[in-house]
Amino acid sequence: MADRGSYVGLDVDLATGEGVTPIAKIVLDAQLFSLISEGETCMGWPGGKIQNLYDDVMKAWNPYGSLPSLLPADLREKHEKLYGSAIKQAKKNGWDPDQDLENDR
């Protein structure tokens, strides 16, 4: 179990019904760029370690302007696989992306 103040882990995060949260995106992008393994959920990681991972992810995105469409084909395919799976899992657990849009208005 994660300590208080640490990240719950990607799988738990996607199961909350909150959708693909900002921290979940950091973990997915870190997996995309092989900064961590695809099996790493970052469960139990303290905020500082997540922040360092975020910094590394931002550096990895820099050549592509943070746009998946600018990724080379192999990374674009990996991105689609990782995010497709995460979105499917989040929807299965009650996330309604249309509701998020309504809440942003």
The pLDDT tens digits of the residues spanning 43-100 come to 999 999 999 999 999 999 999 999 999 999 999 999 999 999 999 999 999 988 887 5
pLDDT tens-digit readout, 9-34:
999 999 988 889 999 999 999 999 99
pLDDT at 21: 92
Our count of domains for the chain comes to 1
pLDDT at 97: 81
pTM of the predicted model as reported, rounded to 2 decimal places: 0.89
Question: Does residue 53 sit within a domain?
Answer: yes
Exposure class string for 68-96: b at 16+ Cβ within 10 A, else e: eeebeeebeebbeebbeebeebbeeeebe
Question: Does residue 18 sit within a domain?
Answer: yes
pLDDT at 105: 52
Q: Which domain holds residue 90?
A: 10-100
